Protein backbone atom coordinates (compact mmCIF):
# COMPACT_ATOMS: atom_id res chain seq x y z
CA UNK A 1 0.00 0.00 0.00
CA UNK A 2 1.37 3.44 -0.86
CA UNK A 3 1.52 6.08 1.82
CA UNK A 4 1.95 9.84 1.50
CA UNK A 5 5.22 11.08 2.88
CA UNK A 6 4.95 12.53 6.39
CA UNK A 7 7.98 14.71 5.68
CA UNK A 8 6.72 16.28 2.44
CA UNK A 9 6.24 20.03 2.85
CA UNK A 10 2.69 21.37 2.69
CA UNK A 11 1.88 24.90 1.56
CA UNK A 12 -1.19 26.66 2.88
CA UNK A 13 -2.38 29.75 4.63
CA UNK A 14 -3.10 31.08 8.11
CA UNK A 15 -5.22 33.96 9.39
CA UNK A 16 -5.83 35.17 12.88
CA UNK A 17 -6.65 38.02 15.19
CA UNK A 18 -6.07 38.94 18.78
CA UNK A 19 -6.89 41.56 21.34
CA UNK A 20 -5.22 42.79 24.53
CA UNK A 21 -7.19 44.45 27.33
CA UNK A 22 -5.70 46.41 30.22
CA UNK A 23 -7.33 45.13 33.40
CA UNK A 24 -5.44 47.69 35.49
CA UNK A 25 -2.25 49.75 35.28
CA UNK A 26 -0.13 46.56 35.44
CA UNK A 27 -2.31 43.58 34.43
CA UNK A 28 -3.15 42.78 30.78
CA UNK A 29 -5.48 40.03 29.51
CA UNK A 30 -5.22 38.75 25.94
CA UNK A 31 -7.06 36.37 23.63
CA UNK A 32 -6.03 35.18 20.16
CA UNK A 33 -7.61 33.08 17.40
CA UNK A 34 -5.69 31.39 14.56
CA UNK A 35 -7.05 29.36 11.63
CA UNK A 36 -4.58 27.24 9.62
CA UNK A 37 -5.40 25.52 6.31
CA UNK A 38 -2.80 23.29 4.63
CA UNK A 39 -5.13 21.90 1.95
CA UNK A 40 -6.00 18.23 1.56
CA UNK A 41 -4.13 14.95 1.60
CA UNK A 42 -5.19 12.07 -0.65
CA UNK A 43 -3.80 8.56 -0.87
CA UNK A 44 -4.83 5.17 -2.22
CA UNK A 45 -3.37 1.71 -2.36
CA UNK A 46 -4.07 -1.99 -2.68
CA UNK A 47 -3.73 -4.47 0.16
CA UNK A 48 -4.01 -8.24 0.01
CA UNK A 49 -4.14 -11.16 2.42
CA UNK A 50 -2.92 -14.64 1.55
CA UNK A 51 -3.87 -16.47 4.74
CA UNK A 52 -5.75 -19.35 3.10
CA UNK A 53 -7.89 -17.39 0.65
CA UNK A 54 -6.81 -14.46 -1.44
CA UNK A 55 -8.44 -11.18 -0.42
CA UNK A 56 -7.66 -7.90 -2.15
CA UNK A 57 -8.98 -4.48 -1.25
CA UNK A 58 -8.43 -1.00 -2.62
CA UNK A 59 -8.04 1.61 0.09
CA UNK A 60 -8.74 5.31 -0.48
CA UNK A 61 -7.88 7.95 2.11
CA UNK A 62 -8.60 11.67 2.10
CA UNK A 63 -8.40 14.30 4.83
CA UNK A 64 -8.36 18.08 5.16
CA UNK A 65 -5.39 19.46 7.07
CA UNK A 66 -6.89 22.35 9.06
CA UNK A 67 -6.56 23.59 12.60
CA UNK A 68 -8.30 26.20 14.74
CA UNK A 69 -6.39 27.50 17.76
CA UNK A 70 -7.62 29.77 20.55
CA UNK A 71 -5.13 31.09 23.08
CA UNK A 72 -5.70 33.20 26.17
CA UNK A 73 -3.15 34.79 28.43
CA UNK A 74 -2.56 37.19 31.24
CA UNK A 75 0.53 39.35 31.66
CA UNK A 76 2.00 41.64 34.27
CA UNK A 77 3.60 44.87 33.04
CA UNK A 78 6.46 46.19 35.22
- Is 3 among the domain residues? no
Domain count, the chain: 1
- Is 63 among the domain residues? yes
- Is 38 among the domain residues? yes
- Is 26 among the domain residues? yes
Q: What is the pLDDT of residue 1?
A: 47
- Is 48 among the domain residues? yes
Convert the pLDDT of each residue in 27-37 to its tens digit: 999 999 999 99
Give the structural domain span for 64. Answer: 13-76
The answer for residues whose C-beta is within 8 angstroms of residue 16's C-beta and 6 or more apart is: 32, 33, 34, 35, 69
Q: What is the DSSP letter of 23?
A: S
- Is 1 among the domain residues? no
C-alpha R_g of the chain: 23
Convert the pLDDT of each residue in 29-73 to its tens digit: 999 999 999 998 888 887 777 666 777 788 888 889 999 999 999
- Is 17 among the domain residues? yes
The rounded distance, in Å, linking the Cα atoms of 15 and 34 is 6
Amino acid sequence: MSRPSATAPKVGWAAGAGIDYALSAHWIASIEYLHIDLGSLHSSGVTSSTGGGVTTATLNYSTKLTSDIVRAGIAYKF
